[in-house]
A and B are shown apart, each in its own frame.
Chain A
Amino acid sequence: MNCGHTEKKLVAYLDGRLTMAERRQFEAHLALCAVCRGRAQGFRSVWDALDELPPLAPSPAFDSRVKARLAQEQRRAGFWSWIMPSPRMAFAATALLIASIWLSSFQPAQLPVTHAPVGSPAQNTEAEFGMIKDLPVLENYDVLTSFDALSELPAQESAQPQSLNRL
C-alpha cells in the first residue's frame, strides 16, 4: 500500500468502515508514512472543529407555515377536484366543450332544409311552413272568411268563400 490509496481509504478508516484486513494494511502504512499519519490526525481535528459549528434552530413558525401552505394547496386541489373529479372526467368535459363549439359553428340558415327529400314530421312541418308563410292569399284569409258583404251575394257567387272554408 502507498500514499495513493489514502484518498480512497482515509475517510473510511476514520469512520471505522474498513474491513479488518484493510484496516491492518492501512495502519501499517500510517506507521511508516508521517504525511498520511499527519493527514489522518488533521482530518480528526477537522471533524472535531465541525462540531463547534452552532446549529440553526428553525423559526417557531416553521411548522405552522408548512401546514398553512399544505392547507392552501389542499383547498386549491379540493376546488379543482370538485369541478374535475378525475383526469378522465376532465378529458371528457374538454372533448364535449370542443364538440359543442364545433357544432355551434353551423348556422341554422345554412342547413339544407328545403332540399331535404324526406325528413322527420317536425322537419316536414317546418319546410311546409317556409313555403306558405309568404303567400298573400293567406294573409287575407281572416278578412275573407268574416266578410259580411259576401253573404249578400247571389248563391252561385258565394261558392268562393265556401271553397275557401274547405281549405
Chain B
Amino acid sequence: MARSDVQLMLDVKSGDDSSFELLLRKYRTPVVNFLYRMVRDAAAAEDLAQEVFLRVYRARGQYLPRAKFTTWMFRIATNLAFNALRDGRYRQMEVSIDQSGVDRSGDGESKQPALEIADRQPSIELELIRRDRAELIRRAVESLPEKQRAAVLLHKYQEMDYDEIARVLGCSESALKSLLFRAYETLRVELAPLVGAAQVQAQLTRPGK
C-alpha cells in the first residue's frame, strides 16, 4: 500500500532517506514548473526547486504533520519565489519574457534558455499554431501580479483546495477567492484572442456590477 506524503515525511524524519527520494521524485516536476512560472527562468527555477527540497530535508527534524505536506512544501517554494523576485535577481528574465524569447538585441543569440518540453510531434503548421498560443498564454500568466500568479498556479496546476492555497499565501479564504477572480478576469481579457474576443469586448463595454 502506497504511503501518504505525511507518512513519507515522518519516515524521513526518523532517518529513512529512501522516503525522501520518493518525495523528490513525486514533486520535482510540479515544484520546478511552479517556480518556473513564478521566476520566469528555467535555470533559476531548477536552482530554487533544489533549495526547496534541501529545506524540506533540513526541516525534517521539526516536521509536524499539522497541514498537508504539499501545503508546507509549496509555502516554502512560494516564499523562495517571492524573495527571489523581490531581490531582483530575475529582473533580466522578465525583460526577456517581454521580448517573447526572441532576441532583439542584435547579438544573434536568444536570451531564453532552451527548455525541454514534452512534445507530441504534430505537423509543422499545427506545431507553430500551438507554440503561438502557448506563448500568448505563458506571457499572460507571467504578467499577472506575483500573488495572483501564485494563486492561479496552485489552483489550476496543483489543484489545491482554497484553504490550502490561502495557507500557502497567508491570506483568508475569502481574500483568496477575490484574488483568483481578479486573476482569471485579467486572463480572460488578456487571452481574448484565444477565448472569444467578441464576447469579452461586449462585456468590457458593459461593466458587470
Contact = CB atoms under 8 A, between A and B. Distances in A.
Contact of B199 (A38, A50, A52): A38
B85 interface: no
B50 A66 contact: yes
A48 B191 CA distance: 11
Contact of B46 (A3, A10, A59): A59
A85 B126 CA distance: 63
Contacts of A62: 28, 32, 46, 49-50
Given A47-B156, A63-B25, A54 B118 contact: yes
Which of A46, A63, A69 gathers the greatest number of chain B CB atoms within 10 Å?
A46
Interface stretch (B66-74, B88-96, B131-139): B131-139
Main secondary structure, interface of A, reads helix
A56 B45 contact: yes
Given A41-B199, A54-B117, A62-B28, A8 B137 contact: no
B28 A73 contact: no
B116 interface: yes
A50 B141 CA distance: 9
Contacts, number: 125
Nearest to B25: A63
Contact of B28 (A8, A35, A38, A58): A58
A7 B199 contact: no
Nearest to B56: A66
A49 B133 contact: yes
A57 interface: yes
Given A56-B45, A63-B24, A69-B50, A42 B195 contact: yes
A4 interface: yes
Contacts of B180: 11
Interface stretch (B2-10, B75-83, B98-106, B200-208): B200-208
A136 B194 CA distance: 114
Main secondary structure, interface of B, reads helix
A3 B203 CA distance: 13
A73 B50 CA distance: 13
Given A17-B162, A42-B188, A56 B32 contact: yes
B196 interface: yes
11 contacts: A3-B209, A4-B209, A7-B177, A8-B174, A42-B188, A47-B156, A49-B191, A50-B187, A59-B116, A65-B50, A66-B53
Interface of A: 3-4, 6-12, 17, 33, 35-36, 38-39, 41-43, 45-50, 52-59, 62-63, 65-66, 69-70, 73
Given A9-B177, A35-B203, A46-B184, 13 more contacts: A3-B208, A11-B181, A11-B184, A35-B208, A39-B188, A39-B203, A49-B187, A49-B194, A56-B36, A57-B29, A58-B29, A63-B25, A65-B50
Interface of B: 21, 24-25, 28-29, 32-33, 36, 42, 45-46, 49-50, 53-54, 57-58, 115-118, 130, 133-134, 137-138, 141, 152, 155-157, 162, 174, 177-178, 180-182, 184-185, 187-188, 191, 194-196, 199-200, 202-203, 206, 208-209
